[in-house]
Structures are given as C-alpha cells and as structure tokens.
Chains A and B, each alone.
Chain A
C-alpha cells in the first residue's frame, strides 16, 4: 500500500535528481523491494508519516531490482533490506543507530513515531544550523502535537 502512495524511483537519473534537487529538506530514500514483508511494513510507516514531516522531509522509495540502481546499491553497500538512507542538500547523512554501520538504517521501524523521531534527530541536529534556533523550527511542523509527543521540541 505504501509503495503506491510514495514515489518509486527505478532509474539512476531519478535518484540523482531526487538527491540533487531536494534542497534544505531531509530526503529519505528507502532501498528495498515492494514484495518484501519488512519493506511492506516500512512502506506503510513511511506513507503514513510522509505528510506529517512533509515540510522538512520528503520520502521516496527506490526499487533495488532495477538495473540502473545497482550503482547506488554498490555505492551504499546495501545487502540487507530494507535500508533507509538520509540526505540533506545532496549530502549523505550518517547516524549512529547502534550498529557498526553508520551509513544507513537497516530494517523497519516499529512504529510511525519511531520514524518521525529518527528524521527529527536528523533534523534537530541540522536545525541549529539551518534555522538558528529550535523555536523557528516549530513553525515548520505540519502537526505540532506530533513534535511535542515525541519530545523532539520542548
């Protein structure tokens, strides 16, 4: 279901454009297969939360099986699916998710709120550098109560 709601990228050109043209927003790319069970779960979470975070993040799915995408599969060394990778201004954002591999998030999120938290931590780190203060970030939320519940903004 989630794969129907979110844009799916199947060509390198599309992925290039998504990474290069997403400016001042966190870009979330999900590398995986739409038929995979874990991917289905993750897609559902991504689709449900994509509107809430749409002011500061955009989400897209990448089909691992298409030939052109293999460049990215090799570059990011994706062996386990689904793998979620974050970008900001064409910069690959690394994060410590408790595994030795800091380049990607492997697996699904247990809930929608978890995903929003992860994107927020990416953004909260950035927001000081983007907006100068946390308060100005509040206005960029679609649903302010989400941020309050997650404890991201106090």
Chain B
C-alpha cells in the first residue's frame, strides 16, 4: 500500500533547539515555526538592548538610565562576558564582540535559527567603533593622569582607592573562608564539575562571581605550588607515565584561569600589584594559622616508603636484581614502578630463602633492661644489667668450657698489639 501524499515524511533525527529548549524532528522546517520565530526575536532584541546599553555607556560616555549589567551573556558564542561595570575592565567584552569569532558565531546562529543576514551588523561591534573607543580610553587615561598630578578637581585617585578597598575586603573575606582549606587540602572543596574541563575548574559558584574575578590569582597560586612538587615524591626511578600522571593532577592554569587573569590585569598596573601583595599575605596567613602539613598534596614522602629508607641492604639490591623469568619477561620494563617491583621481588625472594631477616617494626629490638628505656633510677638499671650480665656469663661459661683454645702468652699478645699499632701509624 503506497503512503498517502498528505502524510508526514519519515521522521528525521531528533534535534535540540536551544532557543525553544525542546527536541524536535522537523529538521530545517522548525525554524519557520511561530513559537521559534517569537523566541528568536525575543532573544535578539534582548541582546540588542544590552548591546546598545553597553555602547551608550562605554563608547559614547553618556550616562545611561540603567547601569550596564555586570555580565553579558553572548548567546551566539555561549560565553559569559564579565565585568562590564568598570570602563577599562570591559575591554574583554568589547574585544569579544568585535572579534572575528563572534562574527562567525553570529552568522552560524542566524543560519541555524533563521533571521536575515542583514542583522549581523546590529549584533556586533564594528572595528571602527573599537578604534574610537580605544582613542577615547587613551585620552581619558591621560586626562586622569594630569588630573591626579595637578590635584585639581575630582581625580580618579579616591575612586580607585575605594575600588581597591572593596576588592581588599573581598580578598580578606576570601582568605578567611577559603585559604585555610587550601593550606590543609584541596579535598575539602569537592564540587562536581558542570562540564568536562580537562582538569581546569571553577572553584567558586556563579553566586559569588564578582569575588571570583578578583580571587582567581590567589587560586592559581596555591594550586601552582601544590601541583609542582607532586612529581618529587616518587622513588629514585622516574617514568614517563609517572610524569603524565603528575601533570594530570592539577591543571591550575587552564585557559579559563588565564582569561580571568587577563581581565584583572586590565585594570592597570597599580591594582594588580596590590592584588599580588594581598594574595601573598593571605596565603602566608593561611599557612601560619594551620601550620604546614605534609601530605599527598604537598608532595611529602609517602609513609610506606619511609619504612625502609635507611636500610642499607636495599641500596645493594637496587643494583643487583635477579633476571626476570617466565611471564615476567613479557612485562614492559618501562611500566609504572618497574624498578620498585623488581627490587621488591628480589627482596621477597631473599626473605624466603632466609638471606634477609624480614623487616619487623616490633619494639623488641630495644634493650629490654634498665631505667634508661623504661623507668627507675640509673642505679637500679645498673643492678639489673649486672644481674643479667652475670646470668649471661654463667651461660656463656658453660659454652666456653667446651671450646679448646691454643695458649697465647702475654708477651706475644703485646707484640702483636704493638705491631698493629705501628702499622696503623704508618698508614696514617
């Protein structure tokens, strides 16, 4: 039976429309839908209004009725442009909106969701506008310098101070809350990642995003210091795999971090210096309050390797391991901990054969007499020792009585001693 001509064509693959936020199987026809067009129009008008606010406030310098929002969501690139409230800090957003990537993303968006290509210019900032803005910025900074030098009129100095104070407060609160946890560990802050970031992560939620931009430097600093020494704990052998693992450990300076750092340093030289100083203070303060702790995060030597560090026999074993046999020959000599495995295997074999006494951490090796080790006066311990010595002597006398030794006269003994002494003097 042939299909009816009025029926729908076979359903295509399900697609997700970000604007309508639902899946559909209409393919390209979806963008002509009434709801989709309404949503598209709403999204574009919202973005245009935000963009016009930004232009008014930053490019033309006229005071807008509403202050620009602290962040702007770019729906085309799916990125958030932060810190629009400060004139110099918004450079990130302006350069993004004027970039070629943004233009391409806008075109792709319009191609995908419909809408005329003639709207492209209204959704981005042109290069001419950027050039104008840069000029005005330069002139303003010069004006500010002259104003502060001459101390005439309302200078930008106090404003900057206020800003610094506010950021200092942020940093202080940040140090109080977060730095101790870092000095102890990173595991106190366990948050599930929102998206796969290949190791780089945002430690602060979006709720305190304002504080985050000022605190990201201090985050990168402890992680940098924490992440570095982790390679150092390994035993004498180092493998490529070990290196890879340790580099996988913390990606503190991911692309996101760098981006935030650039926005911070865009504020000018003096704020960045003050940030660095505060970061150092807060970091050291955190360390002092809790004290340095040797753990896996600080690259301390692992407890299971401390046990046999001072064993001289292990040094010998390192050089002379028995040849691998049977299945073990197949193993890759470059595998993780290969040297350790071979050494330990040799040790275990020798222990089995009885060549090495297996290491025991009992306290029985301590001399078990006298007050030096346990309690009591030294006199008591001396008595105790003498008693045991007598007991030992009587035992050994029984053993010695059975041994037959050749007689050596005192004169001969003295002669041997003298010759030995002479020999030692000559050697010296």
- In the assembled complex, which residues on chain B have CB atoms less than 8 Å from the CB atom of A75? 294-296, 300, 302-303
Q: Identify which of A30-38, A41-49, A100-108, A142-150 touches chain B.
A: A100-108
Contacts A20-B344, A89-B338 given; does A102 touch B332 at CB 8 Å: no
Q: Is B14 an interface residue (CB 8 A)?
A: no
Partner among B189, B190, B335 whose Cβ is within 8 Å of the Cβ of A130: B335
Contacts A21-B344, A72-B303, A91-B336 given; does A129 touch B296 at CB 8 Å: no
Q: Is B245 an interface residue (CB 8 A)?
A: yes
Does the CB pair A77–B297 fall under 8 Å? yes
Q: Considering only CB atoms, which chain A residue lies closest to B360 in the complex? A: A13
Does the CB pair B331–A24 fall under 8 Å? yes
Q: Identify which of B120-128, B139-147, B180-188 touches chain A.
A: B180-188
Query: Once the chains are docked, how many angstroms separate the CA of A114 from the CA of B234?
Result: 29
Does the CB pair A94–B248 fall under 8 Å? yes
Query: Once the chains are docked, how many angstroms separate the CA of A75 from the CA of B302?
Result: 7
Query: Once the chains are docked, how many angstroms separate the CA of A125 from the CA of B201?
Result: 23
Does the CB pair A103–B296 fall under 8 Å? yes
B365 to chain A, nearest CB (A): 14
Does the CB pair B293–A126 fall under 8 Å? no
- In the assembled complex, which residues on chain B have CB atoms less than 8 Å from the CB atom of A4? none
Does the CB pair B189–A100 fall under 8 Å? yes
Does the CB pair A91–B337 fall under 8 Å? yes
CB proximity to B under 8 Å, residues A90-135:
90-96, 98-104, 106, 125-126, 128-132
Does the CB pair A77–B296 fall under 8 Å? yes
Query: Once the chains are docked, how many angstroms separate the CA of A103 from the CA of B188?
Result: 13
Does the CB pair B332–A76 fall under 8 Å? no
Interface size on B, residues (CB 8 A): 49
Q: Is B173 an interface residue (CB 8 A)?
A: no
Q: Is B389 an interface residue (CB 8 A)?
A: no
Query: Once the chains are docked, how many angstroms separate the CA of A23 from the CA of B327?
Result: 13
Q: Considering only CB atoms, which chain A residue lies closest to B223 in the complex? A: A100
- In the assembled complex, which residues on chain B have CB atoms less than 8 Å from the CB atom of A92? 296, 302
CB proximity to A under 8 Å, residues B325-367:
330-332, 334-338, 340-341, 344-345, 348, 360-361
- In the assembled complex, which residues on chain A have CB atoms less than 8 Å from the CB atom of B293? 74
Q: Is A16 an interface residue (CB 8 A)?
A: yes
Q: Considering only CB atoms, which chain A residue lies closest to B235 in the complex? A: A90
Does the CB pair B330–A103 fall under 8 Å? no
- In the assembled complex, which residues on chain B have CB atoms less than 8 Å from the CB atom of A100? 186-187, 189-191, 201, 203, 250
Does the CB pair A76–B296 fall under 8 Å? yes
Partner among A72, A102, A106 whose Cβ is within 8 Å of the Cβ of B249: A102
- In the assembled complex, which residues on chain A have CB atoms less than 8 Å from the CB atom of B302? 75, 92
- In the assembled complex, which residues on chain A have CB atoms less than 8 Å from the CB atom of B344? 20-21, 23, 90
Does the CB pair A12–B190 fall under 8 Å? no
- In the assembled complex, which residues on chain B have CB atoms less than 8 Å from the CB atom of A94? 245-246, 248-249
- In the assembled complex, which residues on chain B have CB atoms less than 8 Å from the CB atom of A128? 332
Q: Is B373 an interface residue (CB 8 A)?
A: no
Q: Is B292 an interface residue (CB 8 A)?
A: no
A148 to chain B, nearest CB (A): 23
B313 to chain A, nearest CB (A): 15
A78 to chain B, nearest CB (A): 8
- In the assembled complex, which residues on chain B have CB atoms less than 8 Å from the CB atom of A126? 241, 335-336
Q: Is A136 an interface residue (CB 8 A)?
A: yes
Q: Is A1 an interface residue (CB 8 A)?
A: no
- In the assembled complex, which residues on chain B have CB atoms less than 8 Å from the CB atom of A16? 303-304, 307
Does the CB pair A136–B234 fall under 8 Å? no
Q: Is A15 an interface residue (CB 8 A)?
A: yes
- In the assembled complex, which residues on chain B have CB atoms less than 8 Å from the CB atom of A13? 360-361
A sample of 7 inter-chain contacts (CB < 8 A) reads A12-B303, A74-B293, A90-B305, A91-B337, A99-B190, A100-B191, A101-B185
Supplied contacts A91-B340, A129-B241, 5 more A-B pairs, CB within 8 Å:
A15-B304, A74-B295, A88-B336, A96-B248, A99-B191
**A contact residues vs B (CB 8 Å cutoff):** 12-13, 15-16, 19-21, 23-24, 71-72, 74-77, 79-80, 88-96, 98-104, 106, 125-126, 128-132, 136
Task: List the 4 closest A-B pairs by CB distance, nearest first.
Answer: A89-B337, A101-B187, A129-B335, A77-B185
